[in-house]
Amino acid sequence: MGTVSNIPDRVDIRHRQGSVQTIPLRFKLDDGTPEDISGRGYELSVKKSATSNAPFVTYSTSNAAIIIDDAPNGLATLTIDDVATPLDCGDFIYDLDEIIGASRIPLTVGAFEVFGDR
């Protein structure tokens, strides 16, 4: 997925239908040094379109789809498990938010493409 920063740069995700994909997430400060993400949560919401209110699938630290691997060094892993939660093929959008207490901070958005043979 590349580097995730506090600047909402566009990062696109392509996922093969019927597979499990892990994507490393690296959180960095503006100067490029790792950001300590201790005590924070993350949520990646996939929606049918930019005007959709509700996501049809959510990957987060609360449902263990995003795992904090090394908080002081800003490292986490997103797992898209299309075997456990089947996804239809198509072009969608996602947004990634950071959750600190009751605050939700948008980090990045992008296309979420599911392709395959089903």
Q: What is the pLDDT of residues 62-111, one digit of tens each?
A: 999 999 999 999 999 999 998 887 899 999 999 999 999 999 999 888 99
Confidence bin at 9 (pLDDT 50/70/90): low
Q: Does residue 118 surpass a pLDDT of 80? A: no
Check the CA dihedral 98-103-106-111 and report its sign. positive
User: What one-letter code names the amino acid at 82?
Assistant: D
For residues 36 and 57, give the distance between their C-alpha atoms in angstroms, rounded to a whole number.
27
Buried b / exposed e over 34-60, threshold 16 CB at 10 Å, is ebebeebbbbbbbbeeeeeeebebbbb
For the chain, domains (ranges, CATH) are: 3-115 (2.60.40.10)
Q: Does residue 6 surpass a pLDDT of 80? A: no
* Per-residue pLDDT at 1: 39
Q: What is the pTM of this model?
A: 0.86
